[in-house]
Structure 1
Amino acid sequence: MPITEPLATTTAPGAQQAAPGPAGPHPAEPPPPPALAAHYYTDPALAEAELNAVFAKSWQLVCHESDLPNPGSRLTAWAAGREVLVVRTDEGGLNAFLNVCRHRGTRLVDGPEPEPKTAAAIRCPYHGWTYKLDGTLVGAPEGRQIPCLDKPKLGLFTVAVESFLGFVFVNIDGTAAPLAQTCAKLAEQVGRYAGGDLVPVGRDRIHDLDRAEVQGANWKVAVDNYLEGYHVPVAHPGLMRLLDYQNYRITEEAEDYVLFQTPLRDKPSSNWRERLYQRLTSTMPGLRAEDRRMWRYAVIYPNTLLDFYPDHVLAWTAVPAGQDRVAVPGGFYTRRGSSARTRLARRLNIAIGWITSDEDAELLRRVQHGIRTPGFEPGPLSRREAGVGWFADRIRADLGSTEGSGERR
């Protein structure tokens, strides 16, 4: 998926956001927290620990509500190293389970499917054990031949599930506070962009890991890159022509999320595609006039990345595919009733995003290569990289202090 990163803030984590202004030294502000030590990105033991200490304890983005349109709709997705099965109930709600039969461990539903399957029950393809959409075991062929068959105790393993801004999240260990609670202010800021009424654009889907691009870096390198704009003047000439680099800012920062925004430049770009986008930019139904020339980006810890554009929403996630590889599945969404002008602007915007994505993929590869150098440790962060410091503090808190431990690989 395109990785169009937000421009990082000049405000240190936890501080009140000041009005945006020209970049420069701010001696009265505390420096950003330090970046993660190199072994956080290179030590296989830490990569294994993250499954339970980071991913299983947090909300993981798996799909959009539009992917489950009808009662009985179901799909599979990966979260914290487990495959989960998400279903739409008869009442219109959502349930999620580990995608494994309680009898012999058979994978219940293959996925992803071109279109979500729909059925009134979940039936194991091996021996026919059958479950209701709430996970209750209701049928086991020749049940009298199964000693100690206790159907109430043999329901599917449940997984916490929540719809937030129309996107579906799961929490493997069930301990995460509701997103509606921890991200309430984020919903106030960007709720008008999102919701269950969004419709997908194109074939890409958040849950479709098989189609996702895989990049040559640790997943945290990808999130770090999204959280800072310090590299934009050097690495992204298109974004420098298009965005007002000096007027970025964080609009909301909390323990569980960061929200950025950056306006488009008034000066026409020298590139025809970018210049045409600047001219045509217009909004989806439901947005405000001030949204027309503003791009917004949110990170929900640890690995949910949401781009809020005037003409569409891009939702994606950074899924570890190995210690030094990351899959970035995602999907584009818009609102019905968008004008022809908005639809054309969206096509231009997505094309621009793919260029940025290719540039970022090369940057991530270079970072992962470099941080494996024996003895390397990161230098101090710029205030434009304050989001990187916020993320580093969260990772250190979840994994515990590992400074000075682990191999430098």
Structure 2
Amino acid sequence: MHDVLKYESLPAWTYTSQHFFELEAEELFRKNWQLVCHTSDIPNAGDYFTFDFVGEHVFVIRDDKGSISGYHNVCRHRAARLLDGPSGNTKGRITCPYHAWGYGLDGCLKAVPYKDQFVGLDETRLGLVPVEVELFLGFIFIRIKGDGPSVADQFVPALEDLAPYRFEELQPLGRVTMRPRQVNWKQVADNYVDALHIPVAHPGLTSLMGNSYGLEVVGGLHKMWGDVRTIRGQGPSVRMYREILPDMDHLPDSKKHHWLYYRMWPALAFDIYPEQVDFMQFIPISATETMIREIPYGLPDDRREVKAARYLNWRINREVNREDTELIIRVQEGMQSSAFTSGPLAKTETCLLDSARQMRDALPVASSRLEPAGPYEKDG
């Protein structure tokens, strides 16, 4: 890659072009792993969890033998959605609400009303269409297509770092939260790994971590971190969080007051705190719309101090989210201006540089400073 281009942000048109959005949906989101939920979200036979993204509708389900599978949430008869809501239990049978076609927990077609009226019906070929599933540290990932590296392979550089948090034992602390943003998904993802804006735009977060915030690229992952410190001038939520956070016996001393973040390409983030673990996904809706999907998890702990720390964590991050929302809207508006094509990136902005590199590697057309005229493919 040309040295100048290497230190430039992605061109503005990639944040506004609907055609590029459709290319990302096909080449990035359908071909890369997407996180659905944790195994603890579907503990019993018939429990399911749904996930929608870029026109795909899928669900993961636990069968009566305890195995977890994933399927397209689409009836094979007339394409009706089968399972509603973010989660639930099928009571042993998946029944289409349109014409009552029935499927087993293994995805096989089990019931066809008025079967004698169909010509040449081959029930063995009309089971639910499966999706690829991978279980990683208790989390359930799906992939629509593609043959890239597994989730486990991608997280090899982080395994030692993550081990003390006992991901497999996590339990949900709440429901799925969906937060719409009127920006391109890359605005959210870029902002997540942008460290230079934190002392400028996040006084609360800065007062929590001081100058301990750091970031680096580890393999294909982006890692950020900071230590909770006692600093003069902290707001009440920050000060109380620091004071009330109890000793978490399962963590080594180096992580007992440590906030840790990992981003996995293209649009998944883990926020890892001493008292809980959250995941966030930046799900593209259109070229200028994104849905942030998140669920918090934690190890079982009934201590009042832990419950209070989790609440204060939510308050701190709610303010950070409000600040970030204002910032990414400012940037999205600027991307639509004729005055901006792309901008320089500092050598220290390692994660932003790597994001741009990964995008240009996956979709070389993103190397063009101006959007190509007419229809184009990923290579331009």
Same fold (TM over 0.5): yes
Q: Show structure 2 runs of 5+ residues with no match.
A: 374-380
- Distance in 2, matches of 1:50 and 1:321, equals 11
Give CA deviations for 1:142-193 in whole Å, capped at 9, x if unaligned: 3233221112211111111122232221101152332122212323321332
Offset at 1:136? 1.5
Cα deviation per residue 1:191-241 (whole Å; 9 max; x = unaligned)? 332424212223x31xxxxx5111121000100000111001111111111
Cα distance in structure 2, aligned partners of 1:112 and 1:294: 32
When the two chains are superposed, the root-mean-square deviation of aligned CA atoms in Å is: 2.2
* 1:151 aligns to 2:123 (yes or no): yes
SS of aligned partner of 1:51: helix
Is contact 1:229-1:384 (8 Å) kept?
Answer: no
Query: Does the 8 Å contact 1:85/1:99 carry over to 2?
Result: yes
Aligned partner of 2:376 in structure 1 is none
Shift of the alpha carbon at 1:388?
A: 0.9
1:234 corresponds to 2:214: no
How far, CA to CA, are the matches of 1:247 and 1:147 in structure 2? 66
Query: In the alignment, which residue of structure 1 is the partner of 2:321?
Result: 357
Q: Distance in 2 between matches of 1:175 and 1:151?
A: 29
Give the match for residue 365 of structure 2: 401
Partner of 1:281: 245
Query: Distance in 2 between the 1:337 and 1:285 partners?
Result: 11
Question: Percent sequence identity over matched residues?
Answer: 33
Question: Are the counterparts in 2 of residues 284 and 342 from structure 1 also a CA contact under 8 Å?
Answer: no
How far did 1:283 drift?
4.8
Residue equivalent to 2:235: 271
Structure 2 partner of 1:40: 14
CA contact (8 A) 2:215 2:351 kept: no
Structure 1 residue 49: Cα displacement: 0.9
Q: Is the 8 A contact 2:11 2:341 kept in 1?
A: yes
Helix, strand or coil for the counterpart of 1:212?
Answer: strand
Q: Deviations over 1:252-274 (max 9, x none)?
A: 6112x222221223434432221
User: Do the aligned residues in 2 keep the contact of 1:193 with 1:286 (CA within 8 Å)?
Assistant: yes
**Larger deviation, residues 291-300 vs 342-351:** 342-351
- Post-superposition Cα deviations, 1:345-386, rounded to whole Å, max 9, x if no partner, equal 221111100000000000010000011111412322123421
Counterpart secondary structure, 1:175: coil
SS at match of 1:329: strand
Runs of 4+ in 1 over 3 A off after TM superposition: 30-33, 282-285
Quote the residue 1:111 is aligned against. Answer: 85
Q: Quote the offset at 1:139 in angstroms.
A: 2.2
Q: Distance in 1 between matches of 2:5 and 2:363?
A: 23
- Whole-Å Cα distance in 2 between the matches of residues 344 and 31 of structure 1? 47
CA distance change for structure 1 residues 242 and 45 in 2, over 3 Å: closer, same or farther? same
Q: For 2:158, which of 170, 186, 189 is the aligned residue?
A: 186
Q: CA deviation at 1:31?
A: 11
Q: Give the conservation status (yes or no) of the 8 Å contact 1:84–1:97.
A: yes
| Cα drift, residue 288 of structure 1 | 1.9
Instruction: State the one-letter code of the partner of 1:333.
Output: Y
Task: State the 1:57 CA deviation.
Answer: 0.4
CA contact (8 A) 1:32 1:385 kept: no
On the 8 A contact 1:76/1:112 being kept in 2, the answer is: yes
Q: Quick one: which of 119, 140, 144 aligns to 1:168?
A: 140
- Partner of 2:219 in structure 1? 254
**1:122–1:285 distance in 2 versus 1, CA, 3 Å:** farther
Q: CA deviation at 1:389?
A: 1.1
Gaps of 5+ in 1: 1-29, 206-210
Distance change >3 Å, CA 186–CA 372, structure 1 → 2: same
The residue aligned with 2:275 is 311
1:99 matched to 2:73? The reply is yes
Structure 1 pair 249–283 and aligned structure 2 pair: CA distance change class (3 A): farther
Which of 178, 181, 185 is the equivalent residue of 1:219?
185
CA deviation profile, 1:80-123 (whole Å, cap 9, x unmatched): 4201021112222211111111111111112235xx12321212
Query: Which one-letter code corresponds to 1:397 in the other structure?
Result: D
Are the counterparts in 1 of residues 53 and 284 from structure 2 also a CA contact under 8 Å? no
Distance 1:53 1:351 in 2: 37
Partners of 2:214 and 2:251 in 1: how far apart? 20
Residue 73 of structure 1 aligns with which residue?
Answer: 47
Q: Which residue of 1 aligns with 2:33?
A: 59
> TM (normalized to structure 2)?
0.91
Of the structure 1 ranges 220-229 and 59-68, higher mean CA displacement relative to structure 2 is found in: 59-68
Look up the match of 1:325.
Answer: 289
Out of 335, 341, 346, the position equivalent to 1:377 is 341
**Secondary structure at the residue paired with 1:86?**
strand
2:45 and 2:157 mapped to 1: Cα distance? Answer: 31
Q: Does the C-alpha gap of structure 1 residues 31 and 264 become closer, same or farther in structure 2, counting only changes over 3 Å?
A: farther
Q: Distance in 1 between the 2:15 and 2:213 partners?
A: 31
TM-score by length of 1: 0.84
